Amino acid sequence: MDSALIPKGVKRCPLWQFLLFIGAAGIVLLWGVYAMLLCWFKGLNQTNMNDYYGFALWIWADLAVIAVGGGAFFTGLLRYIFGKDALKNIINYAVLIGFICYSSALLILAIDIGQPLRGWFIFWHANVHSMLTEVAFCLSCYFGVLTIEYIPLILENRQIDKVPFFHHLGHNMHEVMAVFAATGAFLSFFHQGSLGGVAGVLFGRPFAYREGVFIWPWTFFLFTWSAAACGPCFTILVTKITEKVARKKLVKDNAIELLAKISGWMILTYTIAKAFDTWYWFTVTAPSKGFTLMDFYSNNPLYGIWILVAEIGICGLIPAVILITDKGRKNSMTLWIAVTLAVIGVCLNRWVMVLQVMAVPVMTFDQWVLYIPSWQEVATTILPVAYGIILIAISYRYLPVFPNEPELNPIEPLDEEETAVESPVEFEQDLKPAEA
Amino acid sequence: MKHNKAQKFGMVIDLDKCTGCGSCMVACMSENNVPFRKDESNKLLSITWMRVYRLTNGKPFPNTDMCYLPRPCMQCAGQHEGHSPCVSVCPAIATDYSTETGIVSQIYTRCFGCRYCMASCPYHARYFNWWDPIWPDGMEKYLSPNVSPRMRGVVEKCSFCFHRYQLAKEKAFMEGRRNIEENEYQTACTQACPAGAITFGDLNNPNHAVYNMVKPDHKHGGRPRNPHAFRLLERLGTNPKVYYFSSRNWVRQAGDNYLKDEAKAKKPEHHG
């Protein structure tokens, strides 16, 4: 029924199966939308946040999706600026994942503020000294860049591409994509960094506070670095999950392996930098405020020293070692383990830099406060996941997201009946390729 | 016309005098139209611009000692005037530092409720309006006309009863004076304290009681010269304008965090 929209040379599941899949994800999406409307109309009393936890699950979700969405800018940088040509086979998907992550982040932010209708104040009354202002500007601009990067892919839909204007528009946008990739990398450097700065500048919170260079605390650089390191792992992870769901290979190994290798070295260097940062923090910064390392990791039921072991060791060194070795990244099982650990690691880091910051007592007569999110918070956090699944499903079905797919999965010649069904939409306008 | 010398309004709370009666909290809520709900048992959701903490020295009977510590907004100046933890992070300049008075303001109609300022404040002096204020029937007639009630979704905090400063300035202006006297501007908590534990005034003015009590060293971020005076979390560099006063060593040590070799005294326990 929708075969006219499906890219040529690929096979897709029957429409009913596709709609069933979309419907299942749609139910979760609607659950999230209901929770979102509750928060908007009844206020943030629908959450379990409180005056100790002004920042909670949503801010973590924001930081986490932006970190894992970092695969878009870093893959774009490698592909268009550093000329890593093999990545052309995964760049579309990296952009799509980035688009989903950033649109999700903006949506969560819109739910998270107490007065959503005043959200524009952050632009209009901007405090240029606030890291959050920098986040808002760069994040919005980069979302614009991602949209621009995603549009050519939409224009490649079989039916849209038939319109000469859209065909040429898409082609010309491809031609100038390096400019947007560079802009995206520039913007990402700043908003990923300023998200790190959000915690790092909190000189009233010794757990979060870091020294740094000029106005930028070390967390500024660590956040950018970790997003560039672990973002591509998320791209690989989602690609692998998609391949499992679609039951076919979608991206050539050379693209995955190149991205995994670069990511591995980035994770290794990031982990070393993170270890140095942690060491300096607990030997110099925290003691200067009267705190020892164990003040931050004891006397509470959740936050123990295991977090540092998990973040630096299990989710840092292990994936790094796997990904930098040829054997490690070529083995499907170890590749899965490495990219999963890297994604968990960066999400754990963001959790620590938001939730644990709020939990640690600062005044001597204060105490640890833990928090469990309400179902409304959970639902609105799952909402973007459902939205992401739906957008990926639609894009995968109707857009040529994976250029290698026809080559990797050649279709057997159609029988007469199928050909007859296909024929009404097979006519093509004789379009000349756009000239660069 | 000659400009007035910048003021730095501050508070000194004598913890040896405080009995923990809570009058300051009540006066503050009443004066500033602080909203409340039927059930205020969850203190993590209660708005208390002034909150009294109870500290003990953690020692068993008969050496047990306790202390009540009222905590308003510290009106931090930061390492350089105006670099308060909260003011520096607010993305929409909804909170600002006045170099004229040293008071950190909160502009409710500007605040869009991101709560970054709350995350930055180590004193938990900032509160979010999780609900719209609902006053019991008839109570709206008793609200202060000088303080605007806050709407749902914005942050609020102690303002050192700034409206009283404005009224005092207006009165002085009408009387042809440029400056206000010490007793013309006093916060509600100061006046309500039956033990006289709270003193309020201009830390820049040698004629004011607060100045003489703490003798602030302005060359070193206003650190108190009086050995019995201290500020909460002095080491963080927040540079607060609320000073505490106690003759007891363990109370003074409770004001900040120290490494083991820096302070042998056991940290106090907190009970509410």
Is the Cβ pair A130, B89 closer than 8 Å? Answer: yes
Q: Which pLDDT tens digit goes with each residue over A220-254?
A: 999 999 999 999 999 999 999 999 999 999 999 99
pLDDT at A423: 41
Residues 347-386 of A with CB under 8 A from B: 357-358, 362-367, 369
- Which residue's structure tokens are 């719209």? B132
Number of domains in chain B: 1
Specify the pTM. Answer: 0.91
Is the Cβ pair B153, A114 closer than 8 Å? Answer: yes
Q: Is residue B113 part of a domain?
A: yes
Taking the C-alpha atoms of A287, A202, A114 and B87 in order, what is their torsion angle to the nearest 10 degrees? Answer: 130
Which of B79, B101, B257, B56 lies closest to A360 in space, CA to CA? B257
Q: Is residue B78 part of a domain?
A: yes
The CATH number of residue B86's host domain is 3.30.70.20
Interface residue of B41, B114, B230, B261 to substitute, partner A, most A CBs within 10 Å:
B114
Calpha distance B69→A365 (Å, rounded): 10
Binned at pLDDT 50, 70 and 90, residue A413 comes out as: low
A201 touches chain B (CB under 8 A): yes
B70 touches chain A (CB under 8 A): no
Q: Is residue B62 part of a domain?
A: yes
Q: Is residue B194 part of a domain?
A: yes
pLDDT at A425: 40
Q: Is residue B185 part of a domain?
A: yes
- Which residue's structure tokens are 């609902």? B134
Helices (H) and strands (E) in chain A, counts: 20, 2
Q: Which pLDDT tens digit goes with each residue over B3-55?
A: 457 899 999 999 999 999 999 999 999 999 999 999 999 999 999 999 999 99
Cα–Cα–Cα angle for A67, A360, B14, rounded to 5 degrees:
140
- Which residue's structure tokens are 């993305």? B91
CB A106 within 8 A of CB A66: no
Is the Cβ pair A289, B236 closer than 8 Å? Answer: yes
Average pLDDT of the residues in B183-193: 97
B88 touches chain A (CB under 8 A): yes
Q: Which pLDDT tens digit goes with each residue over A289-346?
A: 999 999 999 999 999 999 999 999 999 999 999 999 999 999 999 999 999 999 999 9
Instruction: Please give the ipTM for the structure prediction.
Output: 0.92
Calpha distance B259→A291 (Å, rounded): 6
Is the Cβ pair B128, A129 closer than 8 Å? Answer: no
Q: Which pLDDT tens digit goes with each residue over A8-57?
A: 889 999 999 999 999 999 999 999 999 999 999 999 999 999 999 999 99
Q: Residue B259 burial by CB count (10 A; 0-12/13-18/19+): exposed, middle or buried? A: middle
CA A205 distance to own-chain centroid: 27
Which of B119, B136, B138 lies closest to B127 in space, CA to CA? B119
Q: Is residue B107 part of a domain?
A: yes
Q: Which pLDDT tens digit goes with each residue over B100-131?
A: 999 999 999 999 999 999 999 999 999 999 99
Residues 136-155 of B with CB under 8 A from A: 151-155
CB A360 within 8 A of CB A368: yes
Tokens at B218, concatenated: 């302005």
Q: How far is B158 from chain A (nearest CA, A)?
A: 15
Q: Which domain holds residue B47?
A: 9-270
Calpha distance A364→B58 (Å, rounded): 12
Calpha distance B86→B97 (Å, rounded): 10
Average pLDDT of the residues in B154-168: 97
- Which residue's structure tokens are 């006066």? B27
Binned at pLDDT 50, 70 and 90, residue A178 comes out as: confident
Domains and CATH numbers, chain A: 3-405 (1.20.1630.10)
Q: Is residue B3 part of a domain?
A: no
Q: Which pLDDT tens digit goes with each residue over A179-205?
A: 998 898 888 888 899 999 999 999 999
Mean pLDDT (chain A, rounded): 91
Checking if the pLDDT of A217 tops 50, the result is: yes
Q: Is residue B1 part of a domain?
A: no
Q: Which pLDDT tens digit goes with each residue over A49-98?
A: 999 999 999 999 999 999 999 999 999 999 989 999 999 999 999 999 99
CB A384 within 8 A of CB A108: yes
Secondary structure class of B202 (helix, strand, coil)? strand
CB A121 within 8 A of CB B110: yes
A106 touches chain B (CB under 8 A): no
pLDDT at A431: 42
B107 touches chain A (CB under 8 A): no
